[in-house]
């Protein structure tokens, strides 16, 4: 059984997406773009709310994590004069290699299973061997070919040694949040078609045929309440995981797992019974001060990732941006919606490797080295059945 | 939340940009450096940098866009080593937030919060990364704020010029 994990985004990516997801003036004239979007945003009224954030003690969180995961050591990624891990989007390739597309560094990397740097390719720029748009995912086909996506909707294909770009394809997606391999001839792309006018419902999942080099089907228009429609555009983070012949997807603002078959037909929904998730209750305040709007923003949680485990259960990662504190949360539930664990203030779950006999998880360590030094864990915890 | 992060930073950026545009008229052109190699005294802005280093004047939009010069600063940090420090100046910002941001960006920086924008805003618009020596700066790039043109090589060249002049 082949399992693929979801997409990992972090606060910086979310902010970037928020700014650009609805802009036709991409990657230039930042202030102008922001101003246009603010203008759209300011057209919506709102009201004040009294907010009491969910609370969970550190001890309880640690206890919950320890009951779910078994610590399995640390992985330190090698860095050199060209390489710094800042915002890695991680997948796994052949021979347990770790594939990194670094959104902040415009760079691809291949590490071996113990963190030795094998190859790296790219930097920010417009010359040969450089990328001008941040990278959002890297995948490896069974042929060894590396498939890379960028935020602007371009798909690159490189050789396994990352020596050169062999093929480059532009898509209609902007942003292109991420991609996942369905099979060797089909990718699942996650993104918003730029041809859909702002404010109109847009399909977020797309099947991309690698042979014909085009999108063959688009589906999954995120259902949100009308008052959330504008937010659904700029915060339209979507994550997907594939388990055998089923796609599970989550949308930032909707507490539901949506299930599709590999043709894109809807086959079910599973509610996510959050207790610690902060829902949007009101539109953003309009005509208020910046501080009011910041306060509103800090009140809400966003779903950022879904991971689908071998035993059929799901891990949902969610996030709240309470500056300067960035708070991730994790919820583990089974296919029937029964919660096994929910915790706040958890370390960021960077990636999941399902290719081994036991699921391995990679969490960012604390501190500024967190994206270079990962804490490894297995699930379920060794003693969880006792 | 369209207007969540978006409006929070977007509005902030809009206000800043409007201030900058209107402020252009009030800043005497002679008060700021125009060409690479020109210097500007920073004392009036309350900034103190390390003896030799890079000064990044953080703008609101730098915190959230992929155009942030942090990628260039990381390159410089890797190539120049710890002897050349980086100072991050933010106008009326929250030092805790900026410190968290610098941590996420994996930048080893000193952080300075400047109370008054003075003419820093005008400088930041055009060249947010500057090479600094004591209380003066030398322009890194003055090409219409086009960050892509501010290569690590140009920073290195400016640092070398400064080093030569300081000996």
The better pLDDT of the pair B121, A126 is held by: A126
Which two three-digit tokens encode residue B95? 């030092």
Tell how far CA A126 is from the center of its chain. Answer: 26
Task: Answer whether A297 sits within 8 Å of B1, measured CB to CB.
Answer: yes
Task: Answer whether A14 sits within 8 Å of B5, measured CB to CB.
Answer: yes
Chain B residues touching residue A290 (CB < 8 angstroms): 8, 11-12, 15
Whether A68 has a pLDDT exceeding 60, the answer reads yes
End-to-end CA distance of chain A: 27
* A373 touches B at CB < 8 Å: no
Q: A358: distance to nearest CA of chain B, Å?
A: 31
Contact B155, B140 (CB under 8 A): yes
H or E segment to which residue B56 belongs: strand B52-58
Query: Which of A9-18, A33-42, A342-351 is the most confident on average?
Result: A342-351
Model confidence pLDDT, tens digit, residues A264-303: 999 999 999 999 998 888 777 666 666 666 677 778 899 9
Task: Answer whether A368 sits within 8 Å of B11, measured CB to CB.
Answer: no
Give contacts of A 303-362 with B, CB under 8 A. 321, 323-324, 326
How far apart, in whole angstroms, are the C-alpha atoms of residue A250 and residue A256?
6
The residue of chain B with its CA nearest to that of A368 is: B103
Task: Answer whether B103 sits within 8 Å of A133, measured CB to CB.
Answer: no
Whether A4 has a pLDDT exceeding 90, the answer reads no
Chain B residues touching residue A286 (CB < 8 angstroms): 3
Q: How many contacts, defined by CB atoms under 8 Å, are there between A and B?
A: 163
Chain A residues touching residue B71 (CB < 8 angstroms): 104-106, 123-124
How confident is residue A343, by pLDDT bands cut at 50, 70 and 90? very high
Average pLDDT over residues A142-171: 96
* B94 touches A at CB < 8 Å: yes
The pLDDT score that the predictor gives to residue B29 is 36
The model's pTM: 0.79
Q: What single string gives the DSSP state of each residue in A51-76?
A: -------HHHHHHHHHHH-EEEEEEE
Q: What is the ipTM of this complex?
A: 0.78
The pLDDT score that the predictor gives to residue A386 is 41
Whether A149 has a pLDDT exceeding 80, the answer reads yes
How far apart, in whole angstroms, are the C-alpha atoms of residue B62 and residue B13?
10
Beta bridge partners of A148: A138, A156
The pLDDT score that the predictor gives to residue A181 is 95
The pLDDT score that the predictor gives to residue A315 is 97
The better pLDDT of the pair A160, B122 is held by: A160
Q: What single string gives the DSSP state of each residue in A128-191?
A: TT-BSS-EEEEEE-TTS-EEEEETTSEEEEE-TT---EEEEEE-SEEEEEEEEEEETTEEEEEE
* B78 touches A at CB < 8 Å: yes
Closest CB to B4 among A27, A235, A324: A235
How far apart, in whole angstroms, are the C-alpha atoms of residue A49 and residue A316?
27
What residue ranges define each of the domains in chain A, with the CATH number in brackets?
Answer: 2-379 (2.120.10.30)
Contact A208, A216 (CB under 8 A): yes
Q: What SS3 class is residue B120?
A: helix
Task: Answer whether A27 sits within 8 Å of B100, measured CB to CB.
Answer: no
Average pLDDT over residues A117-132: 92
> Which of A236, A204, A238, A5 lies closest to A99, judged by CA?
A5
The residue of chain B with its CA nearest to that of A18 is: B6
Which two three-digit tokens encode residue A379? 């699930």
If you ran DSSP here, which 8-state letter would residue A310 be given?
Answer: T
The better pLDDT of the pair B143, A121 is held by: A121
Average pLDDT over residues A310-328: 85
Return per-residue pLDDT of chain B as tens, 167 residues: 333 443 444 444 444 443 333 333 333 333 444 444 455 555 555 555 555 667 777 766 666 566 667 887 788 788 777 766 777 777 667 788 888 888 888 988 888 776 655 555 555 555 556 665 555 555 454 333 333 344 556 566 666 665 565 55
How far apart, in whole angstroms, are the C-alpha atoms of residue A182 and residue A209?
10
Average pLDDT over residues A160-179: 95
The better pLDDT of the pair A250, A46 is held by: A250
Closest CB to A30 among B15, B67, B104: B67
Whether A141 has a pLDDT exceeding 50, the answer reads yes
Whether A94 has a pLDDT exceeding 50, the answer reads yes
If you ran DSSP here, which 8-state letter would residue A285 be given?
Answer: P
The pLDDT score that the predictor gives to residue B74 is 86
Q: A77: distance to nearest CA of chain B, Å?
A: 14
How confident is residue A109, by pLDDT bands cut at 50, 70 and 90? very high
* A125 touches B at CB < 8 Å: yes
Model confidence pLDDT, tens digit, residues A240-260: 999 989 999 999 989 999 999
Q: What SS3 class is residue A340?
A: strand
Average pLDDT over residues A136-154: 96
Half-sphere exposure of A136 (CA within 13 A, CB side): 31
Say what angle helices B70-80 and B152-166 make with each other, to 10 degrees: 50
Contact B70, B59 (CB under 8 A): no
Residues in chain B: 167
Chain A residues touching residue B4 (CB < 8 angstroms): 18, 231, 234-235, 284, 293, 296-297, 300
Contact B132, B123 (CB under 8 A): no
């Amino acid at each position: 059984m082949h399992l693929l994990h979801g997409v990992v985004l972090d606060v910086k990516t979310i902010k970037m997406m928020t700014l650009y997801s609805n802009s036709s003036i991409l990657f230039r004239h930042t202030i102008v773009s922001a101003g246009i979007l603010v203008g759209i945003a300011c057209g919506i009224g709102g009201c004040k709310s009294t907010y009491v954030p969910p609370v969970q003690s550190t001890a309880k969180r640690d206890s919950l994590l320890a009951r779910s995961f078994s610590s399995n050591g640390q992985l330190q990624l090698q860095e050199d004069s060209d390489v710094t891990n800042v915002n890695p989007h991680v997948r796994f390739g052949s021979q347990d290699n770790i594939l990194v597309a670094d959104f902040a560094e415009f760079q691809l990397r291949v590490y071996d299973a113990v963190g030795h740097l094998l190859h790296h390719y790219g930097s920010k720029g417009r010359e040969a061997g450089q990328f001008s748009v941040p990278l959002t995912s890297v995948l490896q086909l069974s042929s060894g070919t590396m498939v890379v996506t960028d935020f602007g909707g371009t798909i690159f294909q490189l050789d396994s040694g990352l020596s050169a770009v062999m093929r480059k394809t532009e898509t209609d997606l902007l942003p292109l949040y991420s991609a996942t391999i369905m099979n060797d001839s089909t990718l699942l792309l996650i993104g918003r078609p730029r041809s859909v006018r702002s404010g109109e419902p847009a399909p977020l999942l797309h099947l991309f045929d690698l042979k014909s080099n085009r999108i063959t089907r688009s589906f999954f228009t995120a259902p949100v309440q009308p008052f959330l429609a504008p937010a659904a555009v700029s915060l339209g983070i979507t994550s997907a995981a594939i388990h055998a012949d089923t796609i599970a997807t989550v949308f930032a603002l909707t507490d539901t797992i949506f299930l599709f078959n590999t043709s894109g037909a809807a086959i079910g929904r599973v509610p996510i019974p959050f207790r610690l998730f902060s829902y949007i209750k009101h539109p953003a305040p309009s005509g208020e001060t910046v501080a009011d709007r910041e306060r509103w923003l800090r009140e809400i949680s966003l779903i950022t990732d879904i991971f689908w485990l071998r035993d059929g259960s799901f891990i949902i990662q969610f996030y709240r941006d309470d500056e300067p504190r960035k708070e991730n949360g994790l919820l583990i539930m089974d296919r029937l919606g029964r919660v096994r664990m929910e915790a706040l203030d958890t370390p960021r779950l960077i990636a999941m490797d399902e290719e081994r006999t036991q699921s391995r998880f990679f969490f960012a360590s604390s501190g500024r080295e967190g994206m270079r030094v990962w804490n490894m864990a297995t699930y379920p915890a060794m003693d969880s059945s006792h | 939340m369209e207007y969540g992060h978006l409006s929070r930073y977007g509005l902030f950026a809009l206000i800043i940009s409007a201030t900058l545009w209107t402020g252009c008229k009030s800043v005497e052109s002679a008060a700021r450096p125009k060409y690479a190699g020109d210097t500007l005294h920073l004392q009036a802005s309350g900034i103190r940098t390390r003896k030799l280093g890079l000064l990044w004047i953080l703008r609101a939009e730098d915190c959230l866009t992929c155009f942030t010069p942090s990628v260039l600063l990381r390159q410089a940090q890797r190539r120049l080593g710890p002897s050349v420090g980086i100072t991050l100046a933010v106008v009326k910002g929250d030092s805790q937030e900026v410190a968290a941001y610098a941590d996420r960006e994996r930048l080893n920086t000193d952080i300075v919060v400047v109370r008054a924008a003075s003419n820093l805003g005008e400088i930041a618009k055009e060249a947010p990364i500057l090479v600094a020596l004591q209380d003066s700066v030398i322009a890194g790039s003055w090409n219409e704020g086009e960050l892509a043109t501010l290569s690590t090589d140009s920073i290195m060249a400016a640092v070398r010029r400064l080093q030569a002049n300081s000996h």
